[in-house]
Chains A and B, each alone.
Chain A
Amino acid sequence: MGTEAAAARLALQPALMRARGLSKRYVQRTPFSRRSFAIEALVDVNFEIAPGCLTALIGQSGSGKSTLASCLAMMEKPDYGEIWFEGSEISHWSRRKLAPLRPRIQMVFQDSAGALDPRFSAAQVIEEPLQIQHRERGQNLRVRACQLMEEVGLSPDWANRSPLELSGGQRQRLAIARAIALKPSLLILDESLSGLDLSTQAQILNLLLDLKAAHSLTCLLITHDLSLVGQIADFVAVMHQGTIVECGSAPQVFGSAQHPQTCKLLASVQLLETAFRTARAGGRG
């Protein structure tokens, strides 16, 4: 999908998810003393996720990207602010009230080896959410799991393998299959690609693009590495010290970055890639 089309769609449709004035602080105690100190993880964050688009959330480590993700996925409650999802404000909802919403927002984590149960087989990993949500039962469960494996590019012959027998890229595919099993409307990938090789990252991003198109899925991709994501993202938001300092469509942000933090993030990528490009073209790199 072209970015202009995406921007036009955003103008027509309300955001799938919207955060208003989100704040979150963590209080920690200094070891061996009673003193405690607070870390302002999120400071007045305003953020929107456009439906059917791929939004990239970028920023250096410690900028609050993961805290924002876990607030949006309702794994953490923000201290202040509103979270709007599909037309309702959910930030203060009880666990029970949130339960039916949870399948709509799914998350894929960074460390796939740690996120998947090593005692499960690959198929069981996918079957578990289907079982919990009573989506399938009996024979159909395995059939659906195999379908999903095929959809993410894993051979159904591997259904009985342990996740630990798979390579990093294959494990992340499996985690994606588990996440899309419940047909969510929002998929959050928290640094899910950062441990992988460049070529594997490219394969998985292509898979995401396919899934996005096939299921009108909305993706929020959290990353510190722009080199590949920057080429395919529709929207980009830059985080720095707990706030979103810049956001907009990808060409807008990359083409005319305003905030010094964005410029800094872009400059190093550009420096690297201009040198690379010159070398490829045969100049003195």
Chain B
Amino acid sequence: MSTPHSMPSKCASALLRVRGLAVSYNARGEQPVPALRQVDFDIAPGEIVGILGESGSGKSTLALSILGLLPESARLGGSIFLDGEDFSSVAESRWAEVRGVKVAMIFQEPGLSLSPVMRAGDQIGEVIRAHHSGGTKQRKLEVETALKDAGISDVDRIYRAYPHQLSGGELHRVAIAQALACRPALVIADEPTRSLDVTLQVEIRNALRDINRTYGSTLIFITHNPALLTGFADRVMVMYAGRIVEAGPVAQVYRRPLHPYTKGLLQLIPGPMQHSGLISSFTRRERLPAIPGSLTPFDQLGRGCAFEPRCSARIADCQIESPDEIAPEPDRRVSCFNHGN
């Protein structure tokens, strides 16, 4: 089941390189609220990277900053290299050239991000028209290919349908086709399956995996469900309070999580120890092993580790300063003083 990609090389050929990324939102007359702090990572071409974290951890802000779609109230620091070009301070016109061709996004609610007054096929065609000069016929063919790639079998019906005539799963596939119409090198999927049932979640995820295999598109898959990443993503980055607290290959991180937060997330789904007969997926529990507490609001964060108030492995240092990122093993990174405990 594991994907056949090699592990990321030492960033020499990174498709996306993010260094010291910090984003804060400035409301007029109020203190700026940080949403991302000191985010560093590389993504190699053809990789599938999962970003795991709860709402408010900065996942979506990260996605928007890679696309240059942050609202005007946001302040961005650090640098974002896409194919070697620094995009942290380029003009909007340059972003418009790149968006859809080099980097594209699949949004959370396709029902809201698609226009209700345009046929699905025409909406996908618009993306192609913006970037390629081709005739109407050529464009229609490309749209049909995109729809097929997104796993749609009755292309004609979907092409002519308005969004309200499509089911939830079909809408997601149209959104995927739209994002992939120009074969972008990097696709960011921001919780594309959140409101779907598990059957559809797995189908949509598998459609994305097929696209990755066929075209070698690099994929960033944002989710809050760790189970969705197995057999799919090569690497996982766990975000908490605007930082990446743990990163590494999915197989290694899931087998032996280093950060207490990762450990807590993984425990929500019954692990190998609780196997019991036929109903192994539904091991009965009197209580679910939830992570206590909730994300501290950014404006109330102290000097210490942001996870400290909820952490079961906290030590004295945790309250005094925020841990730096360390690499205890090759390919793995973690920000925790007491990692592995």
A: which residues have CB within 8 A of B? 2-3, 60-62, 167-170, 194-200, 202-203, 205-206, 209, 224-228, 230-232, 250-251, 254-256, 264-266, 268-282, 284-285
Whole-angstrom CA separation of A256 from B282 in the bound complex: 12
Q: Are B281 and A228 in contact (CB under 8 A)?
A: no
Main SS of the interface on chain B?
loop
Q: Are A225 and B282 in contact (CB under 8 A)?
A: no
Given contacts A198-B224, A279-B255, contact A227 B269 (CB under 8 A): yes
B: which residues have CB within 8 A of A? 1-2, 54-56, 167-168, 194-199, 201-202, 224-228, 230-231, 250-251, 254-255, 264-266, 268-272, 275, 277-292, 294-295
B79 to chain A, nearest CB (A): 30
Q: Are A285 and B197 in contact (CB under 8 A)?
A: no
B213 to chain A, nearest CB (A): 17
A residues in contact with B280, CB < 8 Å: 270, 273-274, 277
Whole-angstrom CA separation of A277 from B254 in the bound complex: 9
A residues in contact with B265, CB < 8 Å: 198-199
B residues in contact with A275, CB < 8 Å: 1, 227, 230-231
Q: Are B1 and A274 in contact (CB under 8 A)?
A: no
A residues in contact with B275, CB < 8 Å: 277
Q: Are B199 and A255 in contact (CB under 8 A)?
A: no
Q: Are B199 and A60 in contact (CB under 8 A)?
A: yes
Partner of A268, one of B56, B198, B286: B198
Whole-angstrom CA separation of A254 from B283 in the bound complex: 10
Q: Are A250 and B290 in contact (CB under 8 A)?
A: no
Q: Are B255 and A225 in contact (CB under 8 A)?
A: no
Q: Are A232 and B288 in contact (CB under 8 A)?
A: yes
Q: Are B294 and A167 in contact (CB under 8 A)?
A: yes
Partner of B282, one of A194, A224, A254, A274: A254
Q: A194-B195, A251-B282 are in contact. List 13 more A-B contacts (CB 8 A).
A: A168-B55, A196-B55, A199-B54, A206-B287, A231-B285, A231-B288, A232-B288, A254-B282, A255-B279, A265-B198, A265-B199, A275-B230, A282-B255
Partner of B202, one of A2, A202, A272, A280: A272
B residues in contact with A202, CB < 8 Å: 268, 288-291
Whole-angstrom CA separation of A269 from B198 in the bound complex: 6
Whole-angstrom CA separation of A212 from B83 in the bound complex: 55
Partner of A60, one of B197, B202, B272: B197
Q: Are B294 and A169 in contact (CB under 8 A)?
A: yes
Q: Are A199 and B226 in contact (CB under 8 A)?
A: no
Given contacts A199-B264, A276-B226, A279-B230, contact A285 B254 (CB under 8 A): yes
Q: Are A225 and B197 in contact (CB under 8 A)?
A: yes
Q: Are B2 and A284 in contact (CB under 8 A)?
A: yes
Q: Are A225 and B198 in contact (CB under 8 A)?
A: yes
Q: Are B288 and A228 in contact (CB under 8 A)?
A: yes
Q: Are A167 and B282 in contact (CB under 8 A)?
A: no
Q: Are A266 and B255 in contact (CB under 8 A)?
A: no
Q: Which residue of A lies closest to B228 (CB)?
A: A272
Whole-angstrom CA separation of A205 from B227 in the bound complex: 19
A residues in contact with B269, CB < 8 Å: 198, 227, 273, 276
Q: Are B272 and A224 in contact (CB under 8 A)?
A: no
Q: Are A198 and B168 in contact (CB under 8 A)?
A: no
A residues in contact with B230, CB < 8 Å: 272, 275-276, 278-279, 285
Q: List 25 A-B pairs, Cβ < 8 Å.
A: A60-B199, A167-B294, A198-B225, A198-B265, A203-B290, A205-B288, A206-B287, A227-B198, A231-B283, A250-B282, A255-B277, A256-B278, A268-B198, A270-B280, A273-B227, A274-B280, A275-B231, A276-B227, A276-B230, A277-B272, A279-B250, A280-B254, A280-B266, A281-B255, A282-B251
A residues in contact with B290, CB < 8 Å: 199, 202-203, 206
Q: Are B1 and A284 in contact (CB under 8 A)?
A: yes
Whole-angstrom CA separation of A170 from B297 in the bound complex: 13
Whole-angstrom CA separation of A279 from B255 in the bound complex: 6
List the 5 closest pairs (A to B, CB-CB), nearest first: A202-B290, A224-B197, A281-B272, A202-B288, A197-B54
Q: Are B268 and A198 in contact (CB under 8 A)?
A: yes
Whole-angstrom CA separation of A265 from B197 in the bound complex: 9
B59 to chain A, nearest CB (A): 11
Q: Are B279 and A279 in contact (CB under 8 A)?
A: no
Q: Are B227 and A227 in contact (CB under 8 A)?
A: yes
Q: Which residue of A lies closest to B271 (CB)?
A: A280
Q: Are B231 and A268 in contact (CB under 8 A)?
A: no
Whole-angstrom CA separation of A225 from B283 in the bound complex: 16
Whole-angstrom CA separation of A256 from B277 in the bound complex: 12
A76 to chain B, nearest CB (A): 23
Q: Are A272 and B197 in contact (CB under 8 A)?
A: no
A residues in contact with B54, CB < 8 Å: 197-200
Whole-angstrom CA separation of A169 from B295 in the bound complex: 11
Whole-angstrom CA separation of A132 from B269 in the bound complex: 42
A residues in contact with B286, CB < 8 Å: 209, 232
B158 to chain A, nearest CB (A): 18
Q: Are B281 and A206 in contact (CB under 8 A)?
A: no
Whole-angstrom CA separation of A219 from B286 in the bound complex: 15
Q: Are A170 and B254 in contact (CB under 8 A)?
A: no
